[in-house]
């Protein structure tokens, strides 16, 4: 995560920024998932919980993408 921050903070190379941003997003989601797994969990349970966390995040993103056009239409002023 720290390396991704460093890639984003530098201002000389746009390619490094473009690499750092998705790395930071993935690292943040991994931190959320692994931060909520009990230390007593074995490898198999940890991977199952990781997959479940990623599935929940994917469902939230898909739901947001699905309802966005409706929300935009509700927010537009009709003349």
Residue 79 confidence (pLDDT)? 65
The total of other beta-carbon atoms located within 10 Å of residue 72's CB is 9
Q: Does the pLDDT at position 3 exceed 80?
A: yes
Residue 37 confidence (pLDDT)? 84
Residue 6 confidence (pLDDT)? 92
Is pLDDT larger for residue 67 or for residue 78?
Answer: 67
Residue 1's nearest CA partner among 36, 27, 29 is: 27
**26-76: per-residue pLDDT in tens?**
998 888 888 888 888 889 998 998 898 889 989 999 999 999 999 999 888
């Amino acid at each position: 995560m720290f390396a991704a921050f460093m890639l984003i903070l530098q201002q000389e190379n746009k390619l490094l920024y473009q690499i750092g941003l998705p790395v930071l997003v993935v690292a943040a989601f991994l931190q959320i998932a692994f931060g909520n797994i009990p230390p007593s969990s074995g490898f198999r349970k940890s991977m199952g919980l990781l997959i479940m966390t990623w599935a929940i995040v994917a469902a939230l993103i898909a739901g947001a993408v699905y309802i966005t056009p409706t929300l935009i239409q509700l927010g537009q002023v009709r003349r």
